[in-house]
Amino acid sequence: MIELSHKQHRPSLGQFPPGALRQARKVGNARSGGLTLLEITLALALLAALVLGVALGISTAFASGRDSESRLRHRLFASRLVDETRALPWNTLLGLHGSTLEDDGFRAAFRVQTVEPGLVQIEIVSQPTSGSAADAVRSVFLIAEKNG
């Protein structure tokens, strides 16, 4: 008759040749000594994506700064034209109609019309000389003749 035992058989350390257990530990831990090629490739790809994101962010910030500076220069040019036009003598205002002015990288066109006697409407449309009509700034204002 065959006896069945429910005990698991565990070999004792004495059954293995000397150094076998140490060798088994070395084989089991062989991967822990370094990184695999796949891990290094993924780490480099992640680093490259991070550097690319930072570089794009910096270039976008510089482009935005240049665009803001250009818009500010344009607004200052338009404001200066309005101030200079208001300072002109009344009898010269109608003579501005249809004239253009180029200065500081911008071009301005003047339209002047009489609204009623003693009151003129002046429209100045300015845009960068190298820009499109979409970049235009339109300034409209009224000037009344001074009495006495």
The domain that holds 70 is classified in CATH as 3.30.1300
Neighbours of 53 (CB within 10 A): 10
Q: How far is CA 74 from CA 106, 107, 108, in A?
A: 7, 10, 11
Q: What angle do CA 88, 92, 93 make, to 5 degrees?
A: 75
Q: Which tokens belong to 91?
A: 């009898």
130-143: average pLDDT: 84
Does 93 map to a domain?
yes
Task: Enumerate residues 6+ apart whose C-beta is below 8 A from 59.
Answer: none
The residue range of the domain holding 76 is 35-144
Does 26 map to a domain?
no
The pTM for the full model equals 0.55
Provide the pLDDT for residue 115.
Answer: 93
- Indicate the number of domains in the chain: 1
Does 5 map to a domain?
no
